Structure formats: structure tokens, C-alpha cells
Amino acid sequence: MKWIEIFPVDAKELTLVVCSFKFQIKEKCMLKNVISVLVAVMVLSSAAFAERYVMVTHGEGKDPFWPVVQKGGEDAARAIGAEFEYIYNPSADMADMASSIQAAAATQPDGMVISLPDPDALGPAIKAAVAAGVPVITMNSGLESSASLGALMHVGQPEKLAGQSAGKRAKSEGASNGLCMIQEAYNTALVDRCEGYGENVPIKFIDTTSDPATIVTRATAALQANSGIDAILSVGPHVCAGVAKAMDDLGMSAHHSCFDLSPEVMDLINSGKVSFTIDQQQRLQGYMPIIVLHLYNNSAGLLPGANIPSGPGFVDKSNASQVAALAGIDR
């Protein structure tokens, strides 16, 4: 079909003229029929040309962090009229995640947003996607490896800096010897948090896993085996809640600081059981990459001049009440 023109005949009828290279058809249609045709054409055209973006993350499904990221991506896609698909790997197996990246890239989306907890395991799949012409933005983790894999940019907080900031503040509040409770020992971003914190407060790593019950069990065992500690860093919101429960069960107290937000973390801060949490503003990690990819695809490669740091920021008793309503939803 070359083009469509509509000419009014009277109050109830229109003449629909459809012209193509090889034929011409001219017939009268009732107004409602013409409108139906036009709506169908508009819908089909919109579907045919809508941008499509895919986000692949390493969340294990039990971490309240990732639904906020997903919602950020969905909201951004809705704002620009794009299709959006979210894929996460519940097994936390990096080989499975690499396969998900490869499968998504094979569908030739207009762009991909990928978290990068293990650059060695995921790097080849990301490089292959870029080589196939799929624009990629990394997010959340993998800042140091993003550019070398061909990603356009990275959206996330500098994790070592965030850990250093947490450790410096914890030390100023009396922390001197601690444990770092880490749910994903393979995740370079979480390791950076612990190591950054350890530059100010000596720490020992404790692998908790992401399972809520296992977090409590392993935290309890670690606290009992390390009675001389006076500080704990929990590098995820569900870990923060599980460690706080273990401390309550043991009747012990220590300086407790955390990473990320959830309603439970807000309650722990307001009750005085957690001193502060580092807010990496994960909504930005879901939202901004979709907007940037849209601009890149529609404005001749338009890109920010640098990576976008989404954090770190502190949430404590001074601002917890303001943030609480958004925790676990949009922040």
C-alpha cells in the first residue's frame, strides 16, 4: 500500500481511496468502518516500529533490590513508547546468565542493559552482542570492565568508593573490628564494598548466600565464632534484615551498617538497630540506561560524556522517614 487518503462525503459516510503501484480501489465506507481501518493501520505501524530493549540481571529472585531496577526499566520504556523485557537468573549461575545474554542478543533488540557481576564469565557474551550490532549499557556492577567489553557506558555507583565511605563513617562512629556479610561471593561489586570498608575498619568476609533462612543461620554462627567484633557491614538489604535478626536472637549489639534500601532496612534504621545504609539509587540503574539507549538510537549516537554514577548516598535517621515511602518501590 502506497498511501491512504480520506475524503468526506456527508455526515455519515466517507470515501476511502487506497492507491498502490498496480491498482486503485475507490469505495464508500461507513465512518465507523473507516475509523476501524485507520486504527488497525496505526496499531500495526506502531508495533512494527516500536523500539525494543532487553535487560538481563544476575538477581537471585530473593533480593528486594532488583524489583526496583526492573520497575525503573519498565517506567522508562513506557515513557518513550518502547517494548521492554526483563530477564534475571534465579540460579545466580554465571554460565546460565551468559546464555541468557546470547539468546537475547540473537533476537536483535534495539539495545541491551546488562549487570556485570563477573566480567570473566559474562564478557565473551557481551562482546559477541556488541559485535552483532546490539548497543549495550552495563549497570550496577562491573564498572571497571564495562568499556573494555565494548559497552557504550555504565550506570551505577563506584563500589570501592561506596565501601570506603561506609568504612570511614563507621570508624568515626566507633567501629574498629568487623565482619562483612556478603551474599554473592562471586560478585566483584560486593567484594569491592567489603574491601573499601576494610580500608578503614579491619574486616573478615562471611559468605551468607541470598537465602533468607541461610543468612540468619550463617550470620548467627559467624557472630558466635567472632565474639570480639564490634562492627558489621551487610552488603544487601535482605542480608541486613537477616543479620539484624541473628543479632536480636543472640542478644548482642554492634555497629551495624548496610547497603541498599527496603522497608525492613528503614524500620531497622528508625529503631536504632542499623546506623545507616548506603543508597545506590537503583531506580536510576534501571531507568537511565533505557533513556540513554533511546537517545543513542534516535539522535545520531547521542551519549553522556561519562558514566552515570547513581550513588553512593547515605540514608540514616535524619532522612529515613522521607525515603521510607519509596523504599522497595522507586528507591
Q: Using 50, 70 and 90 to split pLDDT, how confident is the model at 68?
A: very high
Domain count within the chain: 3
Residue 316 covered by a domain: no
Whole-number Å distance between alpha carbons of 10 and 21: 29
With b for 16 or more beta-carbon neighbours within 10 A and e for fewer, the 167-195 pattern comes to bebbbeeebeebbbbbbbebbbbbbbbbb
214 shares a domain with 294: no
* Predicted local distance difference test score (pLDDT) of residue 61: 61
78 shares a domain with 29: no
275 shares a domain with 219: yes
Instruction: Indicate the residue among 11, 28, 49 that finishes a domain.
Output: 49
* Predicted local distance difference test score (pLDDT) of residue 60: 62
pLDDT higher than 70, residue 176: yes
- For the segment 318-326, the average pLDDT, to the nearest whole number, is 89
Give percent of the chain above pLDDT 70.
Answer: 84
Whole-number Å distance between alpha carbons of 33 and 18: 14
| Parent domain of 285 | 52-157+281-311
Residue 325 covered by a domain: no
128 shares a domain with 209: no
Residue 323 covered by a domain: no
* Predicted local distance difference test score (pLDDT) of residue 35: 43
pLDDT higher than 80, residue 230: yes
Residue 180 covered by a domain: yes
**Mean pLDDT for all residues in the chain:** 87
146 shares a domain with 11: no
CATH classification at residue 203: 3.40.50.2300
Residue 321 covered by a domain: no
Model-level pTM? Answer: 0.79
pLDDT higher than 50, residue 15: no
139 shares a domain with 94: yes
174 shares a domain with 124: no
pLDDT higher than 70, residue 205: yes
Residue 318 covered by a domain: no
66 shares a domain with 16: no
250 shares a domain with 177: yes
268 shares a domain with 184: yes
243 shares a domain with 165: yes
Residue 291 covered by a domain: yes
168 shares a domain with 191: yes
pLDDT higher than 50, residue 125: yes
pLDDT higher than 50, residue 3: no
Comparing 90-94, 180-184, 257-261, 266-270, the range with the smallest average pLDDT is: 90-94
pLDDT higher than 80, residue 22: no
Residue 320 covered by a domain: no
- For the segment 94-116, the average pLDDT, to the nearest whole number, is 97
* Predicted local distance difference test score (pLDDT) of residue 92: 77
H, E, C per residue of the chain: CCEEEEEECCCCEEEEEEECCCCEEEEEEEHHHHHHHHHHHHHHHHHHHCCEEEEEECCCCCCCHHHHHHHHHHHHHHHHCCEEEEEECCCCCHHHHHHHHHHHHHCCCCEEEEECCCHHHHHHHHHHHHHCCCCEEEECCCHHHHHHHCCCCEECCCHHHHHHHHHHHHHHCCCCCEEEEECCCCCHHHHHHHHHHHCCCCEEEEECCCCHHHHHHHHHHHHHHCCCCCEEEECCHHHHHHHHHHHHHHCCCCEEEEECCCHHHHHHHHCCCCCEEEECCHHHHHHHHHHHHHHHHHCCCCCCCCCECCCCEEECCCCHHHHHHHCCCCC
